Amino acid sequence: MFQPQDFKKNALLGLLPEEELTRLMPHLEKVTLKLGQSLCESGQQMSHVYFPLDSIVSLLCVMENGSSTEIAVVGHEGVVGVSLFMGGETTPSRAIVQSAGDAYRLKGQVLKNEFYRAGPMQRLLLRYTQALLTQMAQTAVCNRHHSVDQQLCRWLLLSLDRLTGDELVMTQELIANMLGVRREGVTESAGKLQKAGLISYHRGHITVTDRPGLEARVCECYAVVKREYDRLLNHHHVA
């Protein structure tokens, strides 16, 4: 039997009126996402969208030589697969599971049908897409103008906001790939943060020990993105 409160672990599903959520429930399939799993490759048409519960998915732009840079992260605040309802069907980015956990999977056509009803779901998804575009734009600005230290702080805080705990499982090599910087740069920056008592790093496990300290050190990009999500995704706006 479906439990509505379980679906509400994802903020978008939780913001839907009861009638809309009840209509979607029979079509939502709970799945476990594994670390490193690909949900979508560049140019590939997605058959499903994913509403993360306690997992995090990275959206990456991949170059011809195989190098990649993260352009956004999606967790329990969002949905993976905006191209399906925005009309593009495909996207040049990859969607890779950054932190393992559960998600609800929904067939793309079911979401499209709900979107084209032009009701609460459409308004909610459009607002989410605007917030996601803000994150992508701010990430591009941050990668160009701010230090690796600041980028790492931003990445850690955005990831923490999408987790229930204060620990991330991620190697420095993977973080470097996400940020599009050399591994040595991440090693140096992580060392500074650990020396300052802000994080503890050991064998791919990063524990944030002083979040206020991280927030004091991060560039303005984190606050810009957070404010936009908070502004756009609340009950008053999407009712």
Domain spans of the chain, in order of start: 4-119, 143-225
The pLDDT of residue 238 is 56
What SS3 class is residue 168? strand
pTM of the model: 0.88
Residue 163: CB partners within 8 Å, gap ≥ 6?
A: 54, 56, 75, 99
25 alpha carbon, distance to own chain's centre: 23
Phi, psi of 104 (to 5 degrees): -100, 130
Tokens of 128: 């989410």
Task: Write the CATH number of the domain with boundaries 143-225.
Answer: 1.10.10.10
The tens-digit pLDDT sequence of the chain (239 residues) is: 445 567 889 999 999 998 899 999 999 999 999 988 999 888 788 889 999 999 999 999 887 887 778 889 999 999 999 988 888 777 778 999 988 999 999 999 999 999 999 899 999 999 999 999 999 999 988 888 888 888 888 888 998 888 877 888 777 777 777 776 787 877 888 888 889 988 898 877 888 999 999 999 898 989 999 999 999 987 655 55
- Rounded CA separation 100/118 (Å): 33
The first and second tokens of residue 193, run together, are 């943060």
The arrangement of strands across the sheet holding 199-202 comes to 167-169, 205-208, 199-202
Topology of domain 4-119 in CATH is: Jelly Rolls (2.60.120)
Q: How far apart are alpha carbons 171 and 174 in whole angstroms?
A: 5
List, in sequence order, every residue forming a beta bridge with 138; answer none if it has no partner: none
